[in-house]
């Protein structure tokens, strides 16, 4: 059985992967995971305002995105993600 595992490790992946393309910023989910809930928007901005997230129109700071959020109090992670997605939109992320 150990021999089978070694043979599989030596094989190339079944799907050829493309060139690694760097993407500026971090996923919104990573920023949301670092926070605890509930939170005031001003407190989120104080803690994570400098964080840069990936958006369909390019990287943006959380601070800039939160300026366009109408809420003043966010009670859950999902509500935060939804509020930010309403501002940044959904779609493919630009690469360099």
Residues, the chain: 96
Q: Which DSSP letter does residue 15 get?
A: S
More confident residue, 79 or 15: 79
CA distance 45 to 51: 9
Model confidence at 79: pLDDT above 60:
yes
Residue pair 85/56 in contact (Cβ under 8 Å)? The answer is no
User: pLDDT category, 13, cuts 50, 70, 90?
Assistant: low
pTM, to two decimals: 0.74
Q: Give 35-92 as a DSSP string.
A: S-SSEEHHHHHHHHTT-EE--TTS-EEHHHHHTT---SEE-SHHHHHHHHHHHH--SP
User: What is the rounded distance in angstroms from the CA atom of residue 10 to the CA atom of residue 87?
Assistant: 46
* Structure-token pair, residue 95: 């690469």
């Amino acid at each position: 059985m150990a021999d089978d595992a070694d043979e599989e490790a030596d094989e190339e992946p079944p799907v050829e992967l493309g060139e690694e393309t760097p993407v500026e910023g971090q996923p919104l989910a990573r920023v949301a995971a670092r926070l605890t809930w509930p939170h005031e928007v001003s407190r989120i901005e104080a803690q994570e305002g400098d964080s840069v997230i990936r958006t369909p129109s390019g990287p943006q700071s959380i601070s800039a995105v939160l300026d366009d959020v109408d809420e003043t109090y966010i009670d859950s992670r999902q509500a935060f993600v939804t509020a930010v997605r309403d501002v940044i939109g959904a779609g493919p992320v630009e690469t360099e």
